[in-house]
Amino acid sequence: MPAAAFIESVCAAAAETVRQQGAAADTPGAPRPPILIENLTIHEPLLLGETSFHRLQTGFTFKDDTANFQIISQPLDKNSADGWQVHVSGKLKLVATENLPSVTPAAQGVLVSDTDVYPQTLAPERFYDQLASAGIAFGPSFQGIETLRYDQTNALGRIRMTDQVAAEMLKGFRKTVSWP
């Protein structure tokens, strides 16, 4: 399971939890509350196969406007003696909208080019090499970054679906239902 899917699961589950607690608008389609994720740690990958099924659970321990979280799984194979396994943990913070800075002119609705806002570039191949040297390897199917620009605090990338992923989606490679 890609790291982005874990992050999306945490964000969606946190937003739903906050909505259920009445801390956010209870309107269908309401925007998610801003969430800051800190200390994200990927402990173990979650390997999904065509014949393996797992029960996934996202758990939170809230204290004020912060929460520790974990994503854990348990194989559903009757022959498996494995228990619950921790895949991801970290801390999240709910951020009040009025405390969010406008970090770029684009965030203020001003039309600017990405080269004005993000003057530095990083070749995608170099980015993936840096990740690999840190122990995070993406296979060719998950190397979809086409361009990457950044400044001191932000980054902007253009991402495309790789040919391998597109082909798998078109032929109905897997019918999976996932709920954070």
Q: With respect to CATH, is domain 1-96 assigned 3.10.129.10?
A: yes
User: Angle at the Cα of 106 (from 101 to 111), degrees rounded to 5?
Assistant: 155
Per-residue pLDDT at 51: 74
Q: What percent of the chain has pLDDT over 90?
A: 11
Per-residue pLDDT at 173: 41
Per-residue pLDDT at 89: 93
For 83, which DSSP code? -
Provide the residue ranges of all domains of the chain, joining segments of one domain with +.
Answer: 1-96, 104-169
Q: Would you state the structure tokens that stand for residue 54, as one six-digit string?
A: 């797992």
CA dist., res. 62 & res. 64, Å (int) = 6
**Contacts of residue 128, Cβ cutoff 8 Å, sequence gap at least 6:** 138, 143, 145
Residue 176 has pLDDT above 60, yes or no: no
128 falls in which pLDDT band (50, 70, 90)? very high
Q: Would you state the structure tokens that stand for residue 61, as one six-digit string?
A: 């321990």
Of residues 35 and 60, the one with the higher pLDDT is: 60
- Token pair 């990338």: residue: 157
* Torsions phi, psi for 17 (to 5 deg): -65, -45
45 falls in which pLDDT band (50, 70, 90)? confident
CA dist., res. 178 & res. 23, Å (int) = 25
Per residue, the 3-state secondary structure of 145-165, as one string, reads EEEEEECCCCEEEEECCCHHH
Could you tell me if 22 and 43 are in contact, meaning their C-beta atoms sit under 8 angstroms apart?
A: no
Q: Could you tell me which residues are beta bridge partners of residue 67?
A: 62, 92
Q: Would you state the structure tokens that stand for residue 148, as one six-digit string?
A: 């990457």
Per-residue pLDDT at 28: 56
Distances 180 to 14, 24, 79 between C-alpha atoms, Å: 9, 18, 26
pTM of the model: 0.53
Rounded to an integer, the average pLDDT of 20-41 is 66
